[in-house]
Amino acid sequence: MRSEGGEQVIEVMECRFEHRVRAHAVRIWAFGQGRAVDRPSLAVILAVKDDCVDEPFDRWTLDGLADLMWTYVPQWCSAGTVERPKQLAETLWLYLTFLHDSGRLAQGSDDLGALRASLVAYGGLNQHGVARGRGRPRSKARHQRSELAASSDYVAPVIPLRPGMAAVRPPLAAT
């Protein structure tokens, strides 16, 4: 996310008292879980949910989740000339878990497991709510080993474990 866009989103969040209070509670909760919350992503989630979604603020359904991710967020970001946050799905996972754990997930919401499954299927997350594409960077030594393995000079020959056994096959059982 562009720095000026991120600052703009955070300014939007911080001008709404109820969003500031909610964002602070989410960050404290996430810190206790050993996770960090992306501030611009959380600001977008709160602002879009408040501005664009015509249902209670803490009610989350599968249809509402899809609409928010794929319709309302792109429209809201485009109208505000802000890039779509890269950690939107991860932050939404944390936010929904926060709502569930704090008892704030409103009546009529879909099951947290179903909401998470949707984020796994369509948001690119793994079963822990972390982006699947984000892995540990490969070390230089490991990269060099893989280059050596690709060279034909360093490939080991294949040696049968039992010489002469390849020609002998047991008979097939009749059924």
| pLDDT tens for each residue of 28-45 | 999 999 999 999 999 999
Inter-residue contact 37 to 67 (CB < 8 Å): no
Q: Is the dihedral of CA 124, 127, 132, 134 positive or negative?
A: positive
Q: In the prediction, which pLDDT does 104 show?
A: 96
Encoded tokens for 143: 């990269």
Interval 109-167: pLDDT, tens:
999 999 999 999 999 999 999 998 765 555 555 555 555 555 555 566 666 666 565 55
Q: What is the pLDDT of residue 80?
A: 83
- 3 pLDDT band (50/70/90 cuts)? very low
Phi, psi of 59 (to 5 degrees): -95, 125
Question: What distance in Å separates the CA atoms of residue 160 and residue 53, rounded to the nearest whole number?
Answer: 65
Task: Convert 20-42 into a string of H (helix), E (strand) and C (coil).
Answer: HHHHHHHHHHHHHCCCCCCHHHH
* Helical residues (DSSP H) of 53-111, grouped into ranges: 62-67, 73-79, 88-101
Q: Which positions ≥6 away from 83 have C-beta within 8 Å?
A: 1, 2, 5, 77
- Between 13 and 66, the higher pLDDT residue: 66
Residue 114's pLDDT is: 96
